[in-house]
Structure 1
């Protein structure tokens, strides 16, 4: 696969070299034919994507429809540098760009990849996993973007732009049905209300029955039912002032969530918390572990509810020399969940209470986030050599969360609040010399105050365990930083540009708000005896320095687009989360770490060709080498053997290596800590590529369209600590569709995952709850299977008017 991509890149470079010399004579004709131009706002101003010295993958509204991008996770088909780790709970999902994402679900940790919808940054990344209806474009900006987009964009930005009302009446109704029971409906109407005033209304509904069968109850799990509406009013208040008001509401619910067993590994018998009365295997009747296993047995079905409401106003004033833009937004996000903590249908509580309490272990808890944002920016107008963007940004976010687990084993019961108030000032200047050389420089000042309050509501909680009302479990931290970016670009010929850039990224302090919270996570000092305390105050800021070289080009009469980007980014104190086992019986407890240093480097290739008016080819590839260059005191993964911690001092005594099989005379030694320096980051494929072709052809009085696409990625490990049992091997998926457009009616038949390739969107080790009883080497590996990991077909009908 690698050789094929290199051949494509080599052929494209050769074609570029031959065509560039003859390009000038046909420049004007070329611009008006061939590939369409895509306008992006990657630098807070509208620009042609090919002229922006930023690595950006942009999808037009037509491309979004053709590639059937209906959910956020579908973006991985079109952006090779993007991967998504999916779980049964959307707050635990992770958006990853160039190997860098957010590997933590503390409410105190902001995502490394910012998601922005119509100039409004979302507070929690989970808000992004919603239906994507009636979009104008999607921009995936890769690498640190903190200068213009703020501190929570240390790995990149996904910028989503919805469609504005048009100047004439239009509408559409669409419905999709699929063989796996999935049903979708969308409706849109856009109408002028008065001269210069228009309204656009969009609504969607989605129902999916699920892909996992709970053999205990007979019902399906991982279902989804969601709906939403959006209203957008755009009014021209005179010749120089435009006001856009947007209101949106959506709600998604699941009646049951579950993972399935992929593998059981080890010589012992998996038992819930090692209890002899709770062996797992007898309860697995009808379940055959494997990559294609879609059966589970759980007695707590699980449920989620995700509700988002937002309102935003954008005011644009044409001052002649510049545009003054104000964006004011408020969003309210609510989320609640419940799931089966022991992942079985065993009567766990009876075994531990002598029959006094029956049932299984569950965990649950609501989230609630509110965020007010205000951005004011001045964007230069005209076509002068000097261009600028100057602005300020204010954000006030508040998130609360409660968590309950038990009721009598592995008990947790806590509530917490996290607030963040941010003020940012930014500016960027671009100057184009007579040699068609453009020099750009940007800077951002960011001031932030974060605060936390944590109450451990478990009966008998001590002060060091954050008993309710303990003032030592309330705290705040203030931080300020300056980040910057510089670039230089050179136009070699019309529609051919090379550039280089360097940028400084930053992600601020974060409180580790998870079970096990204690005063040390606030003030950095052990209180009292300090027994059992984990943490040294808020987790330190994460910084990055990124270097990028790129070529952006169009040639062959504007029918071939070839972009090549090389990048290198170094991170210090990267924030990531891992699990340790605490308590009796031991239960997993998550701890936020500062990984010492990271490095991600590689290259990205994008090729778009339109050899004729009826055929278009899209291809992309990303080679990403994302490693932890220094992580010397990482926790050991579950059941890891060997020993590198000397037990008395914080000194490493060698790598944690495999040991011989355990025996009664020579039991295994658990690895408490390990050296992960040089290891790859989780869910970061070294190589990922996609290729697709779209062909238009006459079909009687109608127009037919055939689309075929293929995406492939190399193997990944989903565990930050390198558990060898959580590796997903490389795989490829092919999709195809055939459509016909009869005037205002369009019909599309499609098939997803044509060859039914099974793969996991995340893998986890159940060792914490299902370790062996006689030995410590039994592992139950669970997988989350996304809908797209199975073949399904369907048909979509759309009527426009």
Structure 2
């Protein structure tokens, strides 16, 4: 599906002309990001009170006054926790869990234990991602470094009313640095003991009284923490180049346009070491292909960081996008137009057998590509945020297309197909907040939308072609009450519905039965939340608690579906899931030199109905794999990728050293209790673990420069970011692979930053 270029430029022109006829004022995102450009940290109010801002409700607000479950993450928190890449965000957001895969498209992002486990194009995630207010086409587009972040907001629970159908479990909002009225320069470099190096910089300031700009760029290179003995090269690494430029024009004192463009280019290398292997295992049960022959020189154990692959396993990707933000003011009303266009491509190459075994069974490979194009247009009308009756109204349009050629073989699991998927979405949304009694505010919001989807699938081996389309309309809503007991204490409660759209499962094995079954039904959710937002000690400390209870119906997940007597393992509607728990956030500025922050999530996520789940490899009838075709009943089982407890905490002490210098001591802690990456599979079980990071350095009094030496994973705790049961390739004998996190081993480094 190709997007007509003239339509894109026409929409850009329309949004410019429409906005030019009204007046504008600085928007929420500009206010947030401009402040972050100066401080790159939590915003400090008078007398060192803690003030954190958010745009969760599409307007600029103090976090403590927002009746939503949202966590705001600043650049300094990312640095202290050793987070430089999107896939590591779960270290600072306890409700967020990110499971990596051989390439970003197959990775999974879960909030409160809810995520989408699917490999097909066009299957939207449960957790949406936006950058500067514009949605990304799919999550793989976000799997990159974070070089120019102003702040990141993690909105937990269904966000479909304001943010659409791909946010049924939550939203990650990435805000980047915005133009400022005065010159600011920020630059950071990093080098580590395990050969990672990189740097980023941003320059923001005025060209004239009416023109402001931002230019930022970042480069990072890390060879990886896995060694391929077949060629002597490192694997599990990455190299990324990010650039972004913005130009802001104040057409009049009240009219503002911001045009931005970004470019991304990078590559990753894939290394999945075997950590368990039965001594009598044979690759594809072929005589002579023992572990010693398949992985010469590799010692297989829980600490293994070596592989032996005779074909390169890697990805190459690039993408670019533009965003036009047009802002205006009509009297007291704010008008905002967001027009975006984005393109992205990822080429993937995988040594499918993960060995260097001789012969055809040691030379099975996957080769494919993912291509996406996305155009969006949003129009938004905001009333003043300081009045008793306030509202946000909006219209949204999106047109997205995906393409996927894929080939696998030649020895086993052959595949050779091409697929395309497209969707068109039109939506209208509104939210009203009314303080109908002193300090008591009611919230009512709703969204109506229509979506049309279509697909093509051509199987070159079976010489078959399929095509189809479908459409549906739906509505979601949010109702809530909040009570400001005192200026520093607020209670709130809400009831929210969520929606994830219908889709087709376009993967290997797509056939007439799948085509005739039609699209997978939409997934819906109903969420109840209660919370309290508090501040103490003249607002030098904040403590927030949220209770949530969410039911998901027609859950989309991998299962067994029988159509006209033919059974398929595919993405389908499997039943229901309930997730409930408690979320805590704490921030404290004890003195001007000492501060703490922390967050924790207690999670109970359980399948309420999942009667015909796919069995895990090596599961027997005695372990619950029964029937024809064999399946297991996961009803009542804890959901995958949902640890019961997850915490993140950090502290910083910055005493004066005299002569405008301050010392810096930073410590951070991450804890995650046990979880399963595949339901009930003992080979995909990750025990609980803790990781500590430490940093010591010195900075200039006004933070114009800083030098910090750090050690990440101080106590050298090994854990796995994902586990793969590959016993099916070894005659149903144990063969387990792991994806290693960036800090699988302790490493140190130095960060140097300047900021003026």
TM-score higher than 0.5 here?
yes
Is 2:345 aligned against 1:334? yes
1: CA distance, partners of 2:672 / 2:301:
20
Cα-to-partner distance string for 1:509-550 (whole Å, 9 max, x where unaligned): 1100100001232332xxxxxxxxxxxx21111010000000
Query: Structure 2 vs 1, CA of residues 450 and 382 (structure 1 numbering), >3 Å: closer, same or farther?
Result: closer
CA distance in 2, matches of 1:288, 1:602: 42
Q: Deviations over 1:85-119 (max 9, x none)?
A: 01221111111110011211211210110000001
Determine the structure 1 residue equivalent to 2:229: 215
CA–CA distance in structure 1, aligned partners of residues 433 and 285 of structure 2: 64
Query: Pick from 519, 527, 543: which aligns with 1:538?
Result: 519
Q: How far off its partner does 1:789 sit?
A: 1.8
TM-score normalised per structure 1:
0.85
Partner SS, residue 511 of structure 2 = coil
Give the secondary-structure state (helix, strand or coil) at the position aligned to 1:483. strand
> Structure 2 matches for 1:270-309, cutoff 5 A?
270-309=281-320
The offset of 1:274, in angstroms, is: 1.7
CA distance in 2, matches of 1:629, 1:261: 34
State the shift of 1:335 in Å. Answer: 0.3
Q: Residues 384-783 of structure 1 correspond to what in structure 2 (within 5 A)? A: 384-458=387-461, 461=462, 467-468=463-464, 470=465, 473-524=466-517, 537-577=518-558, 591-642=570-621, 655-656=624-625, 672-701=630-659, 702-719=661-678, 721-742=679-700, 744-771=704-731, 776=732, 778-783=733-738
Mark the CA change 1:111 to 1:54 in structure 2 (over 3 Å): closer, same or farther.
same
Q: Secondary structure at the match of 2:458?
A: strand
2:279 counterpart of 1:259: no
CA distance in 2, matches of 1:549, 1:756: 39
| DSSP-derived class of the 1:91 partner | helix
Shift of 1:433: 2.5
Cα drift, residue 577 of structure 1: 2.5
Output the CA distance in 2 between the equivalents of 1:387 and 1:117: 25
Looking at structure 2, the residues matched to 291 and 236 of structure 1 have their Cα atoms a distance apart, in angstroms, of 59
**What's 2:386 paired with?**
383
SS in 2 for 1:139: strand
Q: Deviations over 1:390-442 (max 9, x none)?
A: 11100000000011101243210000000010011101100012321000000
Q: CA deviation at 1:347?
A: 2.0
| Aligned partners of 1:656 and 1:671 also within 8 Å | no
How far the C-alpha of 1:219 sits from its partner, in A, is 1.2
Distance, in Å, in 2 between the alignment partners of 1:41 and 1:421 is 26
Q: What is the aligned partner in structure 2 of residue 360 from structure 1?
A: 363
Per the TM alignment, residue 589 of structure 1 is displaced from its structure 2 partner at its CA by 8.9
Provide the secondary structure at the position in 1 that maps to 2:641: coil
Other-structure match for 2:19: none
Counterparts of 1:279 and 1:286, CA distance in 2:
12
Question: How far 1:61 moved relative to its partner?
Answer: 4.0
Q: Give CA deviations for 1:118-140 in whole Å, capped at 9, x if unaligned.
A: 01111110111111122221100
Residue of structure 1 in register with 2:60 after alignment? 46
User: Are positions 1:121 and 2:79 aligned together?
Assistant: no
Kept in 2: contact 1:642–1:671 (CA 8 A)? no
| Aligned equivalent of 1:175 | 189
Check conservation: 1:88, 1:222, Cα contact below 8 A: no
Q: CA deviation at 1:578?
A: 5.6
Residue matched to 2:15: none
- After superposition, what is the alpha-carbon deviation per residue over 1:206-250, rounded to whole angstroms, capped at 9, x for unaligned? 111111111121111112111121001111111221111110001
For 1:15, the equivalent position in structure 2 comes to none
Deviation at 1:50, TM superposition (A): 0.8
What is the CA RMSD across the aligned residues, in angstroms?
A: 2.0
Match of 1:320 among 331, 347, 361: 331
Looking at structure 1, the residues matched to 317 and 557 of structure 2 have their Cα atoms a distance apart, in angstroms, of: 25
CA distance in 1, matches of 2:78, 2:476: 33
List runs of 5+ in structure 1 lacking aligned partners.
1-29, 352-358, 462-466, 525-536, 581-587, 645-654, 658-668
Q: Which residue of 2 aligns with 1:8?
A: none
CA deviation after TM superposition for structure 1 residue 571, in Å: 0.4
Q: Which moved more, 1:200-209 or 1:275-284?
A: 275-284
Select which of 227, 238, 246 maps to 1:232: 246
Partners in 2 of 1:695 and 1:339 — Cα distance? Answer: 46
Residue equivalent to 2:356: 345
Distance 1:35 1:272 in 2: 62
The superposition leaves residues 327-348 of structure 1 with CA deviations (integer Å, 9 ceiling, x where unpaired) of 0000001000101111111124
The 2-side partners of 1:245 and 1:292 are apart by: 49
Q: Whole-Å Cα distance in 2 between the matches of residues 244 and 109 of structure 1?
A: 32
Q: Is the 8 A contact 1:639 1:671 kept in 2?
A: no
Distance in 1, Cα, partners of 2:452 & 2:392: 26
8 A contact 1:348–1:361 mirrored in 2: no
Aligned-partner SS, 2:252: coil
TM normalised by structure 2 equals: 0.90
Distance in 1 separating the partners of 2:479 and 2:436: 16
Q: Structure 2: how far apart are the matches of 1:346 and 1:61? A: 46
Query: Quick check: 2:49–2:538 contact (8 Å CA) kept in 1?
Result: no
| Kept after mapping to 2: 8 A contact 1:177/1:796 | yes
Q: Contact 2:272–2:739 at 8 Å: present in 1 too? A: yes
- CA deviation digits over 1:235-266, x for unaligned, max 9? 11112211111100011113x3120111125x
Decide whether aligned partners of structure 1 residues 157 and 231 sit closer, same or farther in structure 2, where only a CA change above 3 A counts: same
SS at match of 1:425: strand
Q: Distance in 2 between matches of 1:590 and 1:304?
A: 27
Distance 1:579 1:218 in 2: 42
Instruction: Give the corresponding residue for 2:85.
Output: 71
Bigger Rg, which one: 1
Which region of structure 1 is more displaced relative to structure 2, 543-552 or 287-296?
287-296
Query: Residue 558 of structure 2 contacts residue 614 of structure 2 at CA under 8 Å; is this kept in 1?
Result: no
Q: Distance in 1 between matches of 2:705 and 2:482?
A: 45
Q: Distance in 2 between matches of 1:302 and 1:590?
A: 26
Per the TM alignment, residue 725 of structure 1 is displaced from its structure 2 partner at its CA by 1.5
Specify whether residues 713 and 162 from structure 1 end up closer, same or farther in structure 2 by C-alpha distance, changes over 3 A only: same
Provide the C-alpha distance between the structure 2 equivalents of 1:365 and 1:686, rounded to a whole number of angstroms.
37
- Displacement after TM superposition at 1:52 (Å): 0.7
> Contact 1:278–1:348 (CA<8 Å) still a contact in 2?
no
Q: Residue 400 of structure 1 aligns to a residue in which SS?
A: strand
**Any idea what the Cα deviations from partners look like across 1:159-207, whole Å, max 9, x if unmatched?**
0111111111221332110001000111211131110311110011111
Matched residue, 2:33: none
8 Å contact from structure 2 (residues 77, 92) kept in 1: no
State the secondary structure of the residue aligned to 1:237: strand
**8 Å CA contact retained: 1:38, 1:60:** no
The answer to whether the 8 Å contact 1:512/1:592 transfers is yes
- The question of whether the paired residues in 1 share the 8 Å contact of 2:50 and 2:589 is answered with no
Range that drifts further, 682-691 or 559-568: 682-691
Contact kept, 8 Å, 2:346 with 2:369, in 1: the verdict is yes
State the secondary structure of the residue aligned to 1:725: helix
8 Å contact kept, 2:78–2:92: no
- Equivalent in the alignment of 1:135: 149
Name the residue aligned to 1:662. none
SS in 2 for 1:103: coil
1:121 to 1:412, Cα distance in 2 relative to 1, 3 A: same
Distance in 2 of aligned mates of 1:764 and 1:78: 25
Q: Is the 8 A contact 1:299 1:344 kept in 2?
A: yes
2:434·2:442 contact (CA, 8 Å) conserved in 1?
yes
Aligned partner of residue 743 in structure 2, secondary structure: helix
Deviation for aligned residue 1:68: 4.4
